[in-house]
Amino acid sequence: MKFVLRYLILWHRWLGIVACLLFMLWFVTGLVLHFVHFPELNAEEKYTGLVPIDIQSVKLSLYDATHALPQFDRITKARLIMSANRPMYIVTDDAHITAIYADTGKVLRTLSMDTALEIANLHATQREIDHANIAYASLEDVDQWTVSNGLDAYRPLHRIALNNKQQTELYVSDVTGEVVRDTNKLERGWNYVGSIIHWIYPTFLRKHWAVWNWLVWTVSFIALVAALSGIYLGLMRLRWRHEKSISPYRGMHYLHHMGGIFISAFLLTYIFSGWLSMDHGLLFSNSVVSATQRKVLAGGEIHWDQFNTVDLSLAQGAKQLDWVQLAGKPYVIATFHHAAQKILGQHGVASHFAYTQFKSEYIQLLDGSSCALPTVVASNDAYASNHASTPLSSTPLSSTPLLRVVCNDKENTWFHIDSGNAQIVEVLNDSKRLYRWLYTGLHTLDFPALNQTPQLKTILVILFTVTGFIFSLTGVILSWRRLRQ
């Protein structure tokens, strides 16, 4: 036992040199992340920036514009926007996104610099952002602010500098002809000392996802081992009998020992939950929505020709149209801004789908198991996600009710469905629900009671991270002294 303890002490001593520095950086950058998130184009910004659709300029139906495409039979999603004052269909298949002009049927191959500038100019005008000195900056495949995988299908990206007081920059997709990201000087500055350090996110590393994923997972695991060994040794060193002090140490060693005992639970859960952020289905379920489940809701294969029966004139002024087939019937969802929409069908207009619609489709979502009829999820439900988000943003698109379908399979699967478009938002089984608490709950204090009192949550975040930073600093000082010796 003494042999094992001796090597555990050596392991913690030398591993702690790196671990405490990491902890210190993670605590301070985590605090920054609480206030300043990584740049994204959220739903409100996206729809505000889009030009209202001129329905009269649409000369070709979706079917007529797309049926000659080689991937036509594989198209799963379709939408319409205005791009540089021209109507544009954007369709998605299993692997690609394709943009087709709705006035000529011509496929968008690439954007010229002038067209990219015009798109950015219109976007800035719609959002009332100062852009008097707008200028083309560069064509980027990947840079620090567009490195996330969610933008892969939209690359390359035209970076447009507005040269305003906020130093705003817009990124226009060369594939779809739309703005997909915006950043400003304040966001960029804080993220250099926030997310980029916290996530170990430099461009040269993050653009190689597999390498980055392995590195961060490994570093986080080593940090977790260092924390566990320190907590174990700290508890072993406590003296409870006939001693003036329960710690055998003095000075900085005493502060490190007792500080570690005091914050051990918080430190361990913070590092453990951070490590879980890199799980990606390794220990917990990914619970992705399958093509079969989407097909069940659609009522079979999508028949794009039947959408010709929907009257698009009712969508005049909408910012985006989305084509959706449900239970074999065609619908076009017209979004006017981030919280207002119309659902156009063959027999009328609605603001959202009633939860009693598509009952037979809901109960068949999970093959081999029966599912209950949907219920409306409360807005403060612990498992309510940011539903109805855009592919480019996690920000909620609308206030339409979220529906929950509960199935009786061995994993107790839930389906969350956005009543705004009747699409599956996420799948939650026992594993995924546990992950929600172990990762999101522990790492960001995402608990219902705290979410109802954001000021208290912020105070706790500051208290915990500052305490963790001070403790980690004692470890860094001790490590520095050890190295000097």
Q: Does 416 have pLDDT greater than 70?
A: yes
Look over the chain and give the mean of its residue pLDDT values, rounded to a whole number. Answer: 91
User: What's the whole-number mean pLDDT along residues 404-430?
Assistant: 90
Contact 76, 302 (CB under 8 A): yes
Q: pTM score, two decimals?
A: 0.92
Bridge partners (DSSP) of residue 426 are: 416
* Residue 411 amino acid letter: E
CA distance 337 to 152: 26
Residue that is written with structure tokens 């000369």 in the block: 59
pLDDT, tens only, 71-105: 999 999 999 999 999 999 999 998 899 999 999 99
pLDDT, tens only, 24-63: 999 999 999 999 999 999 999 999 999 999 999 999 999 9
**The predicted structure's pLDDT at residue 245:** 79
C-alpha distances in angstroms, 149 versus 110, 178, 179?
A: 21, 17, 16
User: What's the whole-number mean pLDDT along residues 357-386?
Assistant: 82
Q: Does 147 have pLDDT greater than 50?
A: yes
**366 or 471, greater pLDDT:** 471
Q: Does 399 have pLDDT greater than 80?
A: no
CA distance 139 to 130: 22
Q: pLDDT-based confidence at 420, cuts 50/70/90? A: confident
Share of the chain above pLDDT 90, in %: 68
Q: Give the DSSP H or E segment for 316.
A: none
**The predicted structure's pLDDT at residue 364:** 84
DSSP state of 371: B
pLDDT, tens only, 342-355: 999 987 788 778 77
Q: Does 358 have pLDDT greater than 90?
A: no
Q: pLDDT-based confidence at 243, cuts 50/70/90? A: low
User: What's the whole-number mean pLDDT along residues 263-287?
Assistant: 93
Q: Does 393 have pLDDT greater than 70?
A: no
String of DSSP letters for 53-90: P-GGG--S-HHHHHTTSTTGGG--EEEEEEETTEEEEE
User: What's the whole-number mean pLDDT along residues 146-166?
Assistant: 97
**The predicted structure's pLDDT at residue 391:** 40
Q: pLDDT-based confidence at 389, cuts 50/70/90? A: very low
CA distance 57 to 339: 25
Q: Which of 157-166, 418-427, 437-446, 448-457 has the lowest mean pLDDT?
A: 418-427
